[in-house]
Amino acid sequence: MHELSLAEEIVRMVESAAARDHFSSVATLTLEAGTLAGVEVASLRFALEAITPGTCLEGAAIVINEPTGRAWCNACAAEVSITSRADPCPVCDGYPLKVLGGDALRVVDLVVVDEGEKPCV
């Protein structure tokens, strides 16, 4: 389950930001996991919930947005929504498609709690 290693990296990034920016905990973590990112969102959420106790993210609300994949069809010159990189164009059934978005896992936002000098790491 590579979602566990993704969750561990997210926690490392947040704890690094906490040490650098002097906040003690996170109230809300917002992630974006595009449908083309190859991430099983339920597994990522489970992994985050399992490893956040004792970290800045303990008790934080975790919001995971799942934008659809977007691509450009060279055959019909249209921007289209796709759910897989192997999908043909839903307009003309053609190929190739160039992915334009919905293919990333990223931290979108952190709402932090500032409790003065006490970093959470």
Question: How confident is the model over 6-30, as a mean pLDDT?
Answer: 96
Instruction: Give the right CATH number for 1-67+102-121 from 3.90.1150.10, 3.50.50.60, 3.30.2320.50, 2.60.40.10.
Output: 3.30.2320.50
pLDDT at position 116 is 56
The model's pLDDT over 23-48, given as tens digits with 9 standing for 90+, comes to 999 999 999 999 999 999 999 999 99
DSSP 8-state code for residue 112? E
Which residues, at least 6 apart from 52, have a Cβ–Cβ distance to it below 8 Å?
A: 11, 58, 60
pLDDT at position 120 is 56
Euclidean distance between CA atoms 58 and 5, whole angstroms? 18
List beta partners, residue 29.
62, 110
pLDDT at position 117 is 45
The model's pLDDT over 54-102, given as tens digits with 9 standing for 90+, comes to 999 999 999 999 999 999 999 999 999 999 999 999 999 999 999 999 9
pLDDT over 50 at 119, yes or no = no
Q: Name the region of 91 (left: φ>0; alpha: ψ -120 to 50; beta: rest).
A: alpha
Domain ranges in the chain are: 1-67+102-121, 68-101
Question: pTM value?
Answer: 0.85
